[in-house]
Amino acid sequence: MNLKNDLILRAARGESIERYPVWLMRQAGRILPEYRAVRSQLSGFKELVETPERAAEVTIQPVDLLDVDAAIIFSDILVVPEAMGLEYQMIEQKGPWFEQTIRSEEHLKFADANIDIDDRLGYVLEAIRITNKELNGRVPLIGFAGAPWTIFCYMVEGRGSKTFSESRKLLYTNSALAHELLGRITDVTIRYLKAQVKAGAHMLQLFDSWAGILGTEQYAEFGLKYISKIVDAIDEVPLTVFSKGAITSVEAIAKTNCNTVGLDWNMDVVAIRNLIGESRTLQGNLDPCALYASEKEVERQTVKMLDSFTSKRHIVNLGHGVYPDIDPEKVKTFIKTVKNYELRY
């Protein structure tokens, strides 16, 4: 299928672009009343993730309503640990919760790498196929997965945490077990991402939400090593690595074979561009809180960010998922401002 708008793919590859492409992490979600309407008809978040027709519907909403340059499949990074044998619940106001965790060798039976992706994760692939059919080439569709370190954190901790100290403990007390588990997650993730591409994803993103809790050295050993394996295994489509908070590892991330490096809102675009040069595209990084400001101020903050770019290799986004109580009109102002901005490179 020919894409009518492939701006984001060209930006990721460093090819010529007419303007910066723009999308938002969590654009398919609670900011849109239309999303909340669909969500309220279902039993919960997980039913939405697991019902391909409805997942496709909310995936397309921001393309219709916000005019973004890419859709991202509505799903969750925790579908992977669940597919491997660790069921989770999504508890309202609290987040994910796993009854079983992996803290010793005998728990590894709940982390099965030899799973059939179509069998266990077919609902995500089906959602991708439906979305693409309905999008009909209007914009590219982004597939995604959690990076192994972040998935490991949930499998060991069993829930969200500020410090993930159980997960980090394992790196000191049983690094062999940690590497075994990370290796298994990596294997499944590679097969899962390839299946997403086969189903129709035009681009991929790895989310490493808990990258920032490791020091540079440990992140190289337990995080980037496995991200590199994934990046090296995927050559079908452009891939973005978003390692939240891993500010001292940005240079190392840019040295992997990824196309795009995602930046937090608290990272300095200019400093990072100076550090990594022109070989990679950067994605981000307006402070999501800037969208609480007046329309005029949203415009001013967006232009200020765009003015700081010194290259065409940028995909515009926020530096984190859009916050659920943001007025969609402010999101539209952000997007319109990016689209009207005259490219200097």
Q: Which helix (H) or strand (E) covers residue 207, if one does?
A: strand 203-208
Say whether 204 sits in a helix, a strand or coil.
Answer: strand
Q: Is 181 helix (H, G, I), strand (E, B) or coil?
A: helix
The reply on whether position 257 binds a copy of itself by CB under 8 A is no
212 binds a copy of itself (CB under 8 A): yes
Q: Which of 39, 103, 168, 273 is catalytic?
A: 39
Range 61-65 contact pairs with CB under 8 angstroms and sequence separation of 24 or more:
61/28, 61/32, 61/34, 61/35, 62/23, 62/24, 62/27, 62/28, 62/32, 63/135, 63/138, 63/139, 65/32, 65/34, 65/328
Q: Is 171 among the residues that bind a copy of itself (CB under 8 A)?
A: yes
User: Considering the rule CB under 8 A, would residue 288 count as an interface residue with a copy of itself?
Assistant: yes
Contact assessment for residue 315 and residue 260, using Cβ atoms and an 8 Å cutoff: yes
Q: Could you tell me the smallest distance in angstroms from the CB atom of residue 326 to a copy of itself? A: 9
168 lies in the site for a copy of itself, by CB under 8 A = yes
Query: How many Cα atoms within 13 Å fall on the side-chain side of residue 175?
Result: 6
Q: Does residue 3 interact with a copy of itself by CB under 8 A?
A: no
297 lies in the binding site for a copy of itself (CB under 8 A): yes
Candidate list 24, 156, 320, 337; residue touching a copy of itself; CB under 8 A: 320
Query: Is residue 154 annotated as part of the catalytic site, yes or no?
Result: yes
Q: Examine residue 90 and tell whether it contacts a copy of itself (CB under 8 A).
A: no
Query: What is the nearest approach in angstroms of a copy of itself to the Cβ of residue 207?
Result: 15
Token pair 């989310």: residue: 207
224 contacts a copy of itself (rule: CB under 8 A): no
Is 245 among the residues that bind a copy of itself (CB under 8 A)?
yes
Q: Do residues 98 and 81 lie in contact, with contact meaning Cβ atoms separated by under 8 Å?
A: yes
Q: Which of 136, 248, 279, 340 binds a copy of itself (CB under 8 A)?
A: 248
Task: Select the span of 6-14, 127-135, 177-185, 240-248 touching a copy of itself (CB under 8 A).
Answer: 240-248
Structure tokens at 121: 């994760």
Catalytic site residue 345?
no
Residue by residue, DSSP assigns 64-91 as: HHH--S-EE----TTHHHHHHT--EEEE
Instruction: State yes or no: is 19 an active-site residue.
Output: no
**Closest distance of CB 165 from a copy of itself, Å:** 5
Give me the least distance between CB of 10 and a copy of itself, in Å please: 28
From the list 6, 69, 76, 208, the catalytic residue is 76
Of the residues 16, 104, 173, 274, which one makes contact with a copy of itself according to CB under 8 A: 173
Where are the alpha helices (H) located in 174-224, listed in sequence order? 175-199, 216-219
- Residue 279 near a copy of itself by CB under 8 A: no
Contacts (Cβ under 8 Å, ≥6 apart) of 199: 125, 126, 128, 129, 132, 143
Contact call for residues 144 and 72 (beta carbons, < 8 A): yes
180 sits near a copy of itself (criterion: CB under 8 A): no
* DSSP element (H, E) containing 97: strand 95-98
Who contacts 271 (Cβ-Cβ below 8 Å, separation ≥6)?
none
Q: How many residues bind a copy of itself (CB under 8 A)?
A: 33
Q: Which of 6, 20, 26, 280 is catalytic?
A: 26
Examine residue 323 and tell whether it contacts a copy of itself (CB under 8 A): yes
- The catalytic site residues sit at 26, 30, 39, 76, 154
Residues at the site binding a copy of itself, with contacts judged by CB under 8 A: 162-163, 165, 168-169, 171-173, 212-216, 218, 245, 247-248, 265-268, 271, 287-290, 292-294, 297, 301, 320, 323
